């Protein structure tokens, strides 16, 4: 095994996915070759450093997306919270009307209105 | 796909705002990190990563659950990143395409995995930020497909199977391209350290 052959296996070697026979050959080459050992060390350091490149999304990420969707949907989705209290609460008005009508109906059904007397 | 994930997607299909919040909480960092490393520019990355989730919100009805949701989502992120790279390459440069070492230096103190807690002093902080800037430039110099593979495998630490599902490439192709990409980054890094 020469330098180029050994170095072409570095990824699989680090992943542990080299077939047994090939892995032994690489290990034998590495034991005898300081140049490839140095290259492997540098290769391993590079792969390790790549793992430290993760980034986190900025804190305003979610609010910004929701604002975009709100704008593009012309207010259909993700209305800002303060608007919930600013708009007319049609749901509550409807519910209150239904309850009032129900109470009035029950009062009419069971109660005798004052001042009304049955006909003689 | 787990039952919890299936229920979450079902709620998202109903345009449940809280389900959308959960999706962004779960996958926001991963998508942002992938897009940022693909583009190398924070401003562009924020814009594209936001577009990814807007696309998800708009097109989630088309998600049939044949692949994992994260696979579907990261495929959108990869495609939109590639599209933005193409768009930027056609646009005249304004000098802001790749964040410079100064931004990387500033970022090293505030975000990402190269944090102050991991390093001992200002010199090491500076060195870590410099290394990050060199690596970002080396990644940016790779062809798009190689760039995506190295980010998915070495930055996001995904399995070859997941990478295959996202890219549609066979494992052998992924491995050979990934090896070339890693060697190229290594050589770039070596040239700065020798």
pLDDT, one tens digit per residue, over A73-110 is: 998 898 876 555 556 677 888 999 999 999 999 988 88
With contact defined as beta carbons under 8 Å apart, do B42 and B71 qualify?
no
CB pair distance less than 8 Å for B33 and A78:
no
pLDDT confidence bin for A115, thresholds 50/70/90: low
Instruction: Tell the residue number behind the tokens 């449940």, with chain if given.
Output: B16
Residue ranges covered by each domain of chain A: 3-50, 61-110
At B128, the pLDDT band (50, 70, 90 cuts) reads: confident
pTM, two decimals, is 0.79
Helices (H), A1-120: 3-7, 10-15, 20-32, 34-50, 61-72, 81-86, 90-110
Q: Measured in whole angstroms, how far is the alpha carbon of residue B109 from the centre of its chain? A: 20
B129 to A96, A100, B119, B190: CA distances (angstroms): 62, 68, 11, 16
Q: Hey, is the C-beta of B27 within 8 angstroms of any chain A C-beta?
A: no
Q: Does A54 touch chain B (CB under 8 A)?
A: yes
Tokens representing B47 are: 């814009």
With cut-offs at 50, 70 and 90, classify the pLDDT of residue B11: very high
Task: Flag whether residue B114 sits within 8 Å of chain A, measured between CB atoms.
Answer: yes
CA distance B35 to B148: 9
A56 and B33 within 8 Å at the Cβ level: the answer is: yes
Buried b or exposed e, range A78-105, using 16+ CB within 10 angstroms: beeeeeeeeeeeeeeeeeeeeeeeeeee
Question: Does position B102 have pLDDT exceeding 50, yes or no?
Answer: no
Q: Which CATH architecture has domain B117-194?
A: Orthogonal Bundle (1.10)
CB contact under 8 A, B190 and A42: yes
B110-137 average pLDDT score: 69
ipTM of the complex: 0.84
Mean pLDDT to the nearest integer, B62-74 = 92
Q: What is the mean pLDDT of chain B?
A: 87
Question: B91 pLDDT exceeds 90?
Answer: no
Among B50, B114, B179, whose Cβ lies nearest the Cβ of A64?
B50
pLDDT at site A86: 55
Counting one residue from A and one from B, how many pairs have CB atoms under 8 Å apart?
102
Domain regions of chain B by residue span: 1-94, 117-194
Look at residue B116 in the predicted model and tell me its pLDDT. Answer: 46
Contact B179 A11 (CB under 8 A): yes
CB-based contact, A87 to chain B, within 8 Å:
no
Asked if A51 is an interface residue toward chain B (Cβ–Cβ < 8 A), one would say yes
Confidence of residue B65 (pLDDT cuts 50, 70, 90): confident
Nearest residue to A57 (alpha-carbon basis) of B155, B77, B80, B32: B32
Q: For B25-49, what is each residue's pLDDT tens digit?
A: 999 999 999 999 999 999 999 999 9
Q: Which two tokens stand for residue A114?
A: 């004052």
Chain A CA closest to residue B41: A55
Q: Does B140 touch chain A (CB under 8 A)?
A: no
Q: Is the pLDDT of residue B106 over 70?
A: no
Which has the closest alpha carbon to A35: A1, A59, A73, A12?
A1
Chain B residues in contact with A45 (beta carbon < 8 A): 189
Token pair of B193 as six digits = 């350290």
Chain B positions in Cβ-Cβ contact with residue A47 (cut-off 8 Å): 154, 182
pLDDT of residue B111: 45
Residue A72: list chain B partners with CB under 8 A: 54
A81 reaches B (C-beta below 8 A): no
Q: What's the pLDDT score for residue B120?
A: 59
The verdict on B191 touching A (C-beta cutoff 8 Å) is: no
d(CA B47, CA B84): 10
Architecture (CATH level 2) of domain B1-94: Orthogonal Bundle (1.10)
Tell me the average pLDDT across A53-72. Answer: 94
Give me B86's structure tokens: 């193409």
CA–CA gap between residue B8 and residue A14 (Å, rounded) = 37
């Amino acid at each position: 095994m020469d330098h180029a052959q050994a170095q072409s296996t570095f990824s699989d070697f680090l992943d542990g996915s080299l077939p047994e026979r090939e892995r032994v050959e690489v290990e034998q080459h590495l034991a005898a070759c300081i140049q490839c050992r140095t290259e492997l060390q540098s290769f391993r350091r590079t792969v390790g450093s790549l793992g430290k490149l993760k980034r986190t999304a900025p804190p305003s990420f979610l609010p910004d997306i929701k604002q975009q969707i709100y704008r593009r949907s012309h207010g259909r989705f993700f209305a800002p919270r303060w608007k919930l209290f600013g708009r007319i609460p049609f749901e509550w008005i409807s519910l209150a009307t239904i309850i009032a009508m129900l109470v009035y109906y029950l009062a009419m059904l069971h109660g005798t209105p004052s001042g009304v007397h049955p006909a003689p | 796909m787990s039952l919890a994930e299936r229920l979450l997607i079902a709620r998202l299909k109903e345009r449940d705002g809280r389900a959308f919040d959960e999706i962004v909480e779960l996958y926001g960092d991963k998508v942002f990190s992938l897009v940022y490393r693909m583009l190398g520019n924070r401003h562009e990355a924020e814009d594209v990563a936001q577009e990814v989730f807007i696309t998800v919100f708009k097109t989630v009805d088309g998600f049939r659950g044949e692949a994992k949701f994260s696979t579907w989502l990261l495929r959108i992120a990869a495609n939109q990143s590639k599209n933005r790279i193409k768009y930027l390459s056609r646009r005249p440069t304004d000098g802001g395409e790749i964040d410079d070492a100064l931004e990387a230096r500033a970022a090293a103190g505030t975000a990402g995995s190269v944090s102050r807690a991991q390093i001992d002093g200002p010199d090491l902080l500076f060195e870590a930020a410099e290394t990050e800037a060199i690596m970002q430039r080396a990644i940016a110099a790779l062809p798009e497909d190689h760039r995506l593979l190295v980010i998915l495998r070495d930055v996001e630490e995904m399995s070859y199977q997941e990478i295959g599902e996202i890219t549609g490439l066979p494992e052998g192709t992924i491995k050979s391209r990934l090896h070339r990409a890693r060697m190229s980054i290594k050589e770039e890094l070596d040239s700065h350290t020798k």
